[in-house]
Amino acid sequence: MKKYLVYIGVLALGLALGWVFFGHSSLENKTQNHDEVVKTDQMWTCSMHPQIMQPEAGDCPICGMDLIPVEVGADGLGADAFKMTKNAMALANIQTSIVGNAMVEGNTIKLSGKIAENEDANVVQASYFSGRIERLNISSVGEKVNKGQLLATIYSPELFSAQQELITAASIKASQPELYIAVRNKLKLWNISDDQINQIESSGKVQHNVPVYATVSGTVSEKLVDQGDYVKQGEALLKITDLNTVWALFDLYEHQIDLIKEGQNISITTNTYPNKPFHEKIDFIEPTLNPSTRTVKIRVVLNNTTRVFKPGMFIEGLVEVKRQSKEPLLTIPVSSVLWTGERSVVYVKLTPETPVFEMREVTLGKQVGAQYEVIEGLNHGDEIVVNGTFTVDAAAQLQGKKSMMNKEGGKTRSGHEAHLGIDHKTLNNTDYTKQNTRLETPSLFQQQLKKVYDNYIAIKDALVQDNVNKASESAKDLLVNLSQVDMKLLKNDAHTHWMSLEKEIKSSTDLISNTSNIEIQRTHFKPLSAHLISAIQLFGINEKVYVEFCPMADNNKGAYWLSKEAKVINPYFGDDMLTCGELKQVIE
């Protein structure tokens, strides 16, 4: 019996020693194999050019620096990458396009402008002598006058005395011809015609009221006096404009100046005749830049004998431009770019098979037509989002990734993420991509948010009209409807997001309602727009909403706004740059 116990003990000891020497090695092999798999999935990038993504270590093909491992999150994606579902992409109509080099021979620039009077054809009808206007035959602006038409009659004491001198000099002209000629010339200096002088001389009677006749034909564009007014010699009575020709004045942005030259062809259309272009040539480009709008005026002289063009009418001009260089050019559609003041960003699709995206900052050159030149940030062959960019940006915000308003992503609570009140722990445990970038929202809440949106549109319209009082009143209405939005209807993260957004919307609207300065109102309208865009993107209002953008607003930092129509009507400048901007996104 003892012998069997010894055999069992020796066998057990052998098994233990075998596990120590061989089993541990097996685990190491498994661990090593696992590490090899991880390393196989590891991507490498360049610290200076993050757009470079390669499956193995090596040198950056752009600068030659050593590639570094890409930080990988728990979902297997890079730290700045995020994934959307194919269903979400379909619902938001997200479209992508491959960036490529193109030989750009020519393209079209769209300019916005107005019809104005031809200042070269303006005439000021002045009084050649002092006196009181006894009768004014022009009752209102817009009346047509013909050369030689009676405009007014004036009583002038000076002219009364001069007429008496003429009658006296005429009676002694045989003996004193020089005096007679001097008196006649004196009347001529007051623009009294030879026929009028002869009539006074032949009748021997002094005219108490002297008529004033139109020296040109045209349309009265300004009435400067009223009947009964006393006027001095040389004082303006009326401004008469010849509308047979008018000026088309367009705003040309600073970055487009070198693309436009005097003598270039331009095609002009009006809202009245949208399908009837007028083909003319650029007549003049202002030599000075407007420091507030960063634009110069370009001028086109239009024939207007048929009175098609009315001063004040909005117009659009299309100019075919050609680049000086014939080198291949990297261009992207205007719709693909989001602006954040000094930064321009696009979203790049990292893999062709799956919808994985990453925000990329780009440096842009000139805008030619519907394309931007790309100086830095993209390479030939990159796939970028060209439609639905705002929706992709919202998905990035919800997942705590780098986004338009959050340059650092989820690692810091800054920018737009802080406004949304996103909690990182919640982000890490929630798959927002399954929610199609639109949080679950009751229809009643959407109806209440819709009332806030309608008040916002009223503020926007008031800013377009430069109506500071209406903007303030509409802001107060917005605050009333905002207070009636029931956040208890929202659950979980939707509730948290709305609490933060409501606070920001209320703050900006309060500032708009409590100022009588239109420029200050426009300053606060920018953050109001940004937060309401986020709210509508996240919750929806069951209505199509247009997101529009002007790169010149906020001292060339750019600003967005919401609209009920695709047509651009800019609230940030009033009449100065009413059509400046472009449609960036449609929120369904």
Q: Helix, strand or coil for residue 233? A: coil
- Amino acid sitting at position 466: D
CA-to-CA distance for 94 and 383, rounded, in angstroms? 13
How far does the chain reach from its first CA to its final CA, in angstroms? Answer: 87
d(CA 48, CA 53): 12
**Do residue 494 and residue 404 come from a single domain?**
no
**Mean pLDDT, the chain, whole residue set:** 78
State the residue range of the domain holding 317.
108-118+243-321
pLDDT at 477 over 90: yes
Lowest-confidence region among 71-80, 238-247, 390-399, 487-496: 71-80
Considering the domain boundaries, does residue 76 fall inside one?
no
CB 345 within 8 A of CB 382: no
Three-state DSSP string of 405-433: CCCCHHHCCCHHHHHHCCCHHHHHCCCHH
Single out the residue of 216, 253, 221 nearest to residue 238, CA to CA. Answer: 221
Where is the domain boundary, 278, 295, 321? 321
Q: Per mean pLDDT, which range of 60-74, 468-482, 516-530, 531-545 is the poorest?
A: 60-74
Is 375 domain-assigned?
yes
Clarify whether residues 515 and 536 are in a common domain: yes
> Is residue 562 a contact partner of residue 536, using CB atoms and an 8 Å limit?
yes
In a domain? residue 74:
no
Whether residue 75 lies inside any domain: the answer is no
Look at residues 435, 458, 490 and tell me which one is the last residue of a structural domain: 435
Tokens 């570094």, located at residue:
68
Indicate whether 374 and 348 sit together in one domain.
yes
Instruction: List, in order, residues 6 or more apart from 344 with CB less than 8 Å away.
Output: 337, 338, 361, 362, 363, 364
What's the CATH number where 126 sits? 2.40.50.100
Tell me: do 417 and 536 sit in the same domain: no
Residues 220, 137 share a domain: yes
Instruction: Give the domain CATH number at 312.
Output: 2.40.30.170
Do 366 and 469 share a domain, yes or no?
Answer: no
Region 333-349 average pLDDT: 82
* 332 and 294 fall within a common domain: no
Q: What is the CATH number of the domain that holds 424?
A: 2.40.420.20
Exposure string over 548-583, b if 16+ CB within 10 A, otherwise e: bbbbbbeeeebbbbbbeeeebbbbbbbeebbbbbeb
Co-location of 102 and 216 in the same domain: no
Least confident stretch, 17-26, 212-221, 250-259, 298-307 = 17-26
Q: Number of folded domains in the chain?
A: 5
In a domain, 356, yes or no: yes
Among 401, 435, 469, where does a domain finish? 435
Mean pLDDT over 550-576 rounds to 83
235 and 158 in contact (C-beta within 8 Å)? no
Answer whether residue 364 shows pLDDT above 80: yes
Which of 200-214, 393-407, 460-474 shows the lowest per-residue confidence on average (mean pLDDT)?
A: 393-407
Residues 479 and 571 in one domain: yes
Angle at 84 (CA atoms; ends 54, 372), nearest 5 degrees: 70
CA distances (Å), origin 143, targets 151, 168, 285? 11, 41, 32
Same domain, 141 and 236: yes
In this structure, is residue 365 part of a structural domain?
A: yes
Same domain, yes or no: 98 and 192: no
Residues 471 and 331 in one domain: no
Residue 536 maps to a domain: yes
